[in-house]
Structure 1
Amino acid sequence: MTKLREFSRQFFGEGTSKWIFLLPSLILLAFFALPLIALMYRSIAPDFFANALSKQAFQALKLSLVTSSITTLITVVLGTPLAYLLARWKFRFKAWLELILDLPIVLPPSVAGLALLIAFGRRGLIGAFLNEIGFSIPFTTTAVIMAQLFVAAPLYIRSARIGFAHVDKQLEESAYVEGANQLQLFYEIMIPIAIRALASGAILTWTRALGEFGATILFAGNLEGITQTMPIAIYIGFERNLGVAMALSVVLILVSVILLMITKQLDKEEE
């Protein structure tokens, strides 16, 4: 007991007040870590690589990687100017526009999927017209990308908006004094300074798109090789082949860990 007290004193210092913070923190950390450890442990099996490289898993992985990359590319191309506009310009109803852009972050994915279906479904507000001209979106790979874009793009816009907002206004004023126009200011000053925030937002968007499930299954369905992404394959595998579901889950965890580590490193460099 004496040694335990001595160790506690050396580690935490005098008094026991630090336990008030440490104990609840450890409980919550254990709650987060134990399920992941259990999944990794149960996935270690002789047939792990066979399941991870099976036809169904490979098709789902390929589709997820391709659609997530396309989603991120579209987000960067369209979202960067929008984020810059929100960060540096002042105009009416700006707060309402920001609210609309942030709303998909907090909406349940099922609501997002239903909203997309009502808007772009075969009988939807826009989908009915598209269907008449022979262009159907639901239950296609395009629907997968749209579902991912709806739920993931706001993460990039938020990150890019913060990055642009933190650029010193004196640099902007100096650029105008030197004769720079709006486009030159954007490409030669704003983007280079905010590049870490843009990269961090792009990584978060790609990761969120990779893990999207609810909106995708409602709007795009579950067609193997066409709309069956990794999260959907995990859900289906839970009922048909638990080994495939666990193998794909481990792959998603590893990819997410790597991308989050890159994001953390970018945040440290920015500080």
Structure 2
Amino acid sequence: MKYLFFDLCIAILAGVFVCFVIFPMTALFTTTSLAELSNQLISSQVLSAVIISFETSIIVVVLSLFLGIPVAYLLAVKDFKGKVILDTLVDLPITIPPLVSGLALLIILGGNSRLGSMLCSNGIEIIFSKKGIIIAQLFVSSPFLIKSAREAFESINKNISHASLVLGASQFYTFKKIMLPLAKNGIYAGMVMTWARALGEFGATAMVAGCIPFKTQTMTVGIYQNVMSGELSVSIAIALILTLFSFTLLVIFKSRFKRQFAV
């Protein structure tokens, strides 16, 4: 009985949080009719936004793996001068507003900068293109994979990698055959969070790639544009797709893949 009051308080606070999440989601699902929702889901504008978002976000996840895992490994197992600075730079895209990230990318990649003009002269268009979407999404979402993979690498017993090296294995073999398999759970988690963050990115994407329908209009950009223009039904359709996919992705990962790939 002496713990009843404490447990009751915890249950009430947890219930308030659950309501805080469920009520807005319920409102989103009940605002429009099923017939109108079905019409919007098969509209060319909605399908285009979905395709662009999934296409760019999948590329971002792949790029994050190639660029992020080496950074995560470096931060986890190596000691070097400037490690704190590198660690801070990894966290920076998470802490600064996405609009600031987008502005910085727009300045360095725009036609007025040396890099931007050099890219344009070689026929590489970044601003107002899918390439701009990918760069913006990569900038803001890749730190999630790096942080998750780093924690996974740090959790591995150092004696395991030391034993591999003592037995004559190369650093690359140890990294490929021992470190990566043992860190796979953290890498998978980072991939999921990176994908979800890339799909949900708005500010930096809008700054760099603009809001051009059927060209650079991602799902989040489409939601904002249609709300501002009064097309609430289109925004709801896109929002439902994004919400259902994110929820399903997280549920599948939490309930299945963590058990399947458990160390």
Any residues of structure 2 matched to 1:3-42 within 5 Å, and which? 15-42=4-31
Is contact 2:125–2:131 with CA below 8 Å preserved after alignment?
no
- Residue 27 of structure 2 aligns to a residue whose secondary structure is helix
Alignment of 1:155 with 2:144, yes or no, is yes
Cα distance between partner residues in 2 of 1:44 and 1:252 = 18
Query: In structure 2, do the counterparts of structure 1 residues 229 and 19 end up closer, same or farther at CA, with 3 Å as the change threshold?
Result: same
Cα distance between partner residues in 2 of 1:124 and 1:14 = 64
Return 126-135 or 209-218, whichever deviates more.
Answer: 126-135
Any residues of structure 2 matched to 1:91-170 within 5 Å, and which? 91-170=80-159
- Residue 91 of structure 1 aligns to a residue whose secondary structure is coil
User: Where does residue 253 of structure 1 map in the other structure?
Assistant: 243
Is contact 1:113–1:215 with CA below 8 Å preserved after alignment?
yes
CA deviation after TM superposition for structure 1 residue 44, in Å:
4.3
Cα distance between partner residues in 2 of 1:254 and 1:133 = 41
Cα distance between partner residues in 1 of 2:81 and 2:258 = 32
Alignment of 1:48 with 2:48, yes or no, is no
Alignment of 1:59 with 2:48, yes or no, is yes
User: Where does residue 6 of structure 1 map in the other structure?
Assistant: none
CA deviation after TM superposition for structure 1 residue 116, in Å:
0.5
Cα distance between partner residues in 2 of 1:57 and 1:207 = 18
Alignment of 1:194 with 2:183, yes or no, is yes
Which structure: larger Rg?
Answer: 1
- Which of 228, 231, 242 lines up with 2:232 in the alignment? 242
Cα distance between partner residues in 1 of 2:182 and 2:71 = 17
Is contact 1:43–1:250 with CA below 8 Å preserved after alignment?
no
- Residue 227 of structure 1 aligns to a residue whose secondary structure is coil
Post-superposition CA distance 1:207-266 (Å, at most 9, x none): 111111110011100112221001111112212421111011111111000111133234
Cα distance between partner residues in 1 of 2:258 and 2:84 = 27
* Amino acid paired to 1:264: K
Cα distance between partner residues in 2 of 1:109 and 1:95 = 23
Is contact 1:118–1:125 with CA below 8 Å preserved after alignment?
no
% identical equivalent positions? 36
Is contact 1:122–1:136 with CA below 8 Å preserved after alignment?
no
- Which of 253, 256, 259 lines up with 1:263 in the alignment? 253
Cα distance between partner residues in 2 of 1:16 and 1:70 = 50
Cα distance between partner residues in 2 of 1:216 and 1:63 = 12
CA deviation after TM superposition for structure 1 residue 50, in Å:
1.3
| Unaligned stretches of 5+ residues in structure 2 | none
Provide runs of 4+ in structure 1 moved above 6 Å.
none
* Amino acid paired to 1:27: V
Query: In structure 2, do the counterparts of structure 1 residues 47 and 99 end up closer, same or farther at CA, with 3 Å as the change threshold?
Result: same
Return 129-138 or 214-223, whichever deviates more.
Answer: 129-138
CA deviation after TM superposition for structure 1 residue 267, in Å:
4.9
Query: In structure 2, do the counterparts of structure 1 residues 150 and 14 end up closer, same or farther at CA, with 3 Å as the change threshold?
Result: closer
Cα distance between partner residues in 1 of 2:4 and 2:174 = 56
Query: In structure 2, do the counterparts of structure 1 residues 44 and 175 end up closer, same or farther at CA, with 3 Å as the change threshold?
Result: farther
Q: How many residues align?
A: 260
Q: Please, what is the CA RMSD of the aligned residues?
A: 1.8
Is contact 1:117–1:124 with CA below 8 Å preserved after alignment?
no
User: Where does residue 213 of structure 2 map in the other structure?
Assistant: 224
TM-score, normalised via structure 1 length: 0.90
CA deviation after TM superposition for structure 1 residue 155, in Å:
0.4
TM-score, normalised via structure 2 length: 0.93
* Amino acid paired to 1:226: K
User: Where does residue 58 of structure 2 map in the other structure?
Assistant: 69
